[in-house]
Amino acid sequence: MPEGDTVFRAARTLHRFMAGETVTRFESVYPAITRVVLDHRLLGRTIVSVSARGKHLLMSFSGGLVLRTHLRMNGSWHIYRPGERWQVPARDMRVLVGTDDFEAVAFRVPIAEFRSASALKRDRAIESLGPDLLDPDADLDDAVGRLRARGALPIADALLDQRALAGIGNVYKSESLFVAGVSPFASVASLSDETLRAIVETARMQLKANTRDPLEAPVAAWRGMRRTTRSDRPEGRLWVYGRAGAPCRRCGTSIVIAKQGEARLTYYCPKCQPVAPPD
């Protein structure tokens, strides 16, 4: 499932190639947004910016029109030169925004809608989001307070609640809890504010490490494989996620997988992450 780092990188790439350009082509399989394109004359407008807000990707156009998409489980955005062969079958195309030089194509995106910039500010899908951990101005105290409000909820489930903090998915949930040494089954109420803060800061650090721009930080940039450890080996890039039955990288105990919440999977080390919260 795409997480906050995936959406952030997609928005950054689209912004780099599309911002400041004029829309010359638009296609979609969704009649509702095609209607908006016709009614509001999208062709000829300028793409002002492309940004990420949690797991939402926002493409803003001149005149105050915004295209909001959510990738959910399988969605993705690609960018191509006109006429370049797509890496995904055309039947999976949901939205295409074209300029003279590039085409931004959304594949298997289940949610796509146009909103005015003013209406988007009042949109519950956006307004209700907690602090975005990839926002340099994110209020981490607010994130801790929002987690605290989840009370009896297991911390693993609370971290996935985008109203508490935005951007974390199954991978960073499992990885940040392992690094913090916290059981995914511990209730939020059982954890101190210091522990919650440590979890939030760890998740933020991991997300940011996977969004470094290769054009700005060529030595320590994201290279195409998400990692939370310091290892450059493909098989050593994650602490626990996807490693059920494998030995813990710290203590050697077998990593365990469990279903939590809405059939979501959690990976953890039963020795490094005891059920009782750490002191």
Just list the catalytic residues: 2-3, 55, 264
Contact assessment for residue 109 and residue 75, using Cβ atoms and an 8 Å cutoff: yes
Contact assessment for residue 175 and residue 11, using Cβ atoms and an 8 Å cutoff: no
Token look-up 């780092």 returns 5
Residue type for 89, please? P
Structure tokens at 222: 């994201």
How wide is the angle at C-alpha 52 spanned by C-alphas 51 and 57, nearest 5°? 90
28 forms beta bridges with 95
Compute the distance between CA of residue 106 and CA of residue 104 in angstroms, rounded to an integer: 7
Would you call 65 helix, strand, or coil by DSSP? strand
Please count the CA atoms within 13 angstroms of the CA of 261 that sit on its side-chain side. Answer: 18
DSSP conformational letter for 23:
P
Q: Among 145, 166, 170, which Cα is nearest to 157's?
A: 170
Q: Among 142, 148, 154, 113, which Cα is nearest to 30's?
A: 113
Would you call 45 helix, strand, or coil by DSSP? coil
Contact assessment for residue 165 and residue 155, using Cβ atoms and an 8 Å cutoff: no
Structure tokens at 203: 């998740």
